[in-house]
Amino acid sequence: MSHSMRIHLKVWRQAGPNAPGRFESYTVENANEHMSFLELLDVLNEQLIKEGKEPVEFDHDCREGICGSCGVVVDGVAHGPQPRTAVCQLHMRHYKSGDTITVEPWRAKAFPAIRDLVVDRSAFDRIMAAGGYVSVSTGNAPDANAIPISKVDADLAMDYASCIGCGACVAACPNASASLFTAAKISHLAKLPQGSPERKMRVRNMVEQMRKEGFGDCSNHAECEAVCPKGISISAIALMRREYLKAATS
């Protein structure tokens, strides 16, 4: 049976990109253990609108952990306390009535603030545009089975490819580094024969773009792997470095 819960929230409010931010405290009286965390924010927002206040803005879309739209820091952890779970699938049963939860946006220079909990992650798109693809124009493809790929490599490629681009890795990294995001794409493509001719250019350009965007350097804290909703391993970062060295030494 579901129990009504009282949840206190300390939420970061910021009117716009250059406006000063601050924490506001709210209480949701009729929370419920089956709710997702975003549904808790929905309920809060309905309450705020009725009170004539402005609702808390946050990005969200699929609410099933795959689109990567949502992402807030919950009590100091990107996406909250449940491992391998995006915040849209964090459920209130992990809390108890009376708890106070602090909610902050992703914080990084490369992710400028937009409003409240919403930030601009377009830096990720620019990193992808720098080389995160295989240059094959439509209609140029050989038969899909023309090149066999070992199942082990295909599975590993899939592990890396499962990145949802949410930015939690950056948010959680003490250095605000985007290494896991960048490395996941490089590693996905490095494991496959497709796109191999351009692999050196890819790793060079993507790493350079990552730097230009103002992300920090990696210090191997591995915090990114711990908060990644898809559990992408930092072995991707190691692979990216090997790829880079191969590119740099030839």
Partner 1 sequence: MLSRLYGSPVLKKVTTGLTGIFLTLFVLVHMTGNLAYFADDTGEAYNAYSHFLTHELGALFYLIEIGLLAIFLLHATIGIQIWLGKRAARPEAYAVYRTAGGASRQSLSSRSMIVTGVLLAVWTVFHLVTFKYGTYYETTLADGTVVRDIARLVDEVFGNPMYAFGYPAMMLLLAVHLRHGVWSALQSLGLVRPTASASTYLVGGLLGLAIGVGFLLLPIAIYFQWA
Partner 2 sequence: MASKLDARIPAGPLKDKWDLYKNSIKLVNPANKRKHTVLVVGTGLAGGSAAAALGELGYNVKAFCIQDSARRAHSIAAQGGINAAKNYPNDGDTIWRLFYDTIKGGDYRAREANVYRLAQVANNIIDQCVAQGVPFAREYGGLLDNRSFGGAQVSRTFYARGQTGQQLLLGAYQAMMRQVSAGTVTMFPRTEMLDLVVIDGRARGIITRDLVTGKIERHLGDAVLLATGGYGNVYYLSTNAKNSNVTAAWRCHRRGAYFSNPCFTQIHPTCIPVSGDYQSKLTLMSESLRNDGRVWVPKKPGDTRHPSQIPEGERDYFLERRYPSFGNLVPRDVASRNAKYVCDEGRGVGETQLAVYLDFADSIRRLGRNKIEERYGNLFEMYERITGENPYEVPMRIYPAVHYTMGGLWVDYGLQSTIPGLFVLGEANFSDHGANRLGASALMQGLADGYFVIPYSLGDYLGGTRIEAASTDHDAFEAAETDARQRIGKLLSVKGSRTVTEFHRDLGRIMWDHVGMSRTKDGLEQAVDAIAALRDEFWQNVLVPGEPTTYNKNLEFAGRIADFLELGELMARDALMREESCGGHFREEFQTEDGEAVRNDRDFTFVSAWEFTGDPRTSVLHKETLEFENVKLSTRSYA
- Site map (CB under 8 A) of partner 1, residues 143-182, x = contact: -----------------------------x-xxxx-x---
Site for partner 2, residues 129 to 168, rule: CB under 8 A:
129-145, 147-151, 154-155, 157-158, 161-162, 164-165
Identify each DSSP E strand in the chain by its residue range.
Answer: 4-14, 21-32, 73-74, 77-78, 100-104, 113-115, 118-119
Let me know: does 154 contact 194? Beta carbons within 8 Å: no
Distance between CA atoms of residues 186 and 124, nearest Å: 13
Q: Which of 32, 45, 47, 102 binds partner 1 (CB under 8 A)?
A: 102
Residue 231: CB atoms within 10 A of its CB come to 12
Query: From the CB of 246, what's the least distance to partner 1, in Å?
Result: 11
- Site map (CB under 8 A) of partner 2, residues 18-47, x = contact: --------------xxxxx-xx--xx-xx-
Per-residue HEC secondary structure of 174-201 comes to CCCECHHHHHHHHHHHHCCCCCHHHHHH
Residue closer to partner 1, measured from CB, 108 or 184: 108
Distance between CA atoms of residues 85 and 71, nearest Å: 10
The option from partner 2, partner 1, none interacting with 110 (CB < 5 to 8 A, set by class) reads: partner 1
Q: Which of 3, 6, 93, 107 binds partner 2 (CB under 8 A)?
A: 93
Please list the residues that pair with 14 across neighbouring strands. Answer: 21
Q: Which of 66, 67, 77, 154 binds partner 1 (CB under 8 A)?
A: 77
23 forms part of the interface with partner 1 (CB under 8 A): yes
Residue 166: CB atoms within 10 A of its CB come to 29
Query: From the CB of 84, what's the least distance to partner 1, in Å?
Result: 9
Question: Helix axis angle, 235-248 relative to 179-190, nearest 10°?
Answer: 70
110 forms part of the interface with partner 1 (CB under 8 A): yes
Residue closer to partner 1, measured from CB, 26 or 215: 215
Please list the residues that pair with 12 across neighbouring strands. Answer: 23
Query: From the CB of 221, what's the least distance to partner 2, in Å?
Result: 26
Segments in 191-234 forming alpha helices (H): 199-212, 223-227
The option from partner 2, partner 1, none interacting with 239 (CB < 5 to 8 A, set by class) reads: partner 1
Q: Which of 118, 215, 229, 230 binds partner 1 (CB under 8 A)?
A: 215
Element (H, E) at 39: helix 37-50
The option from partner 1, partner 2, none interacting with 3 (CB < 5 to 8 A, set by class) reads: none
Let me know: does 165 contact 68? Beta carbons within 8 Å: yes
25 forms part of the interface with partner 1 (CB under 8 A): no
241 forms part of the interface with partner 1 (CB under 8 A): yes
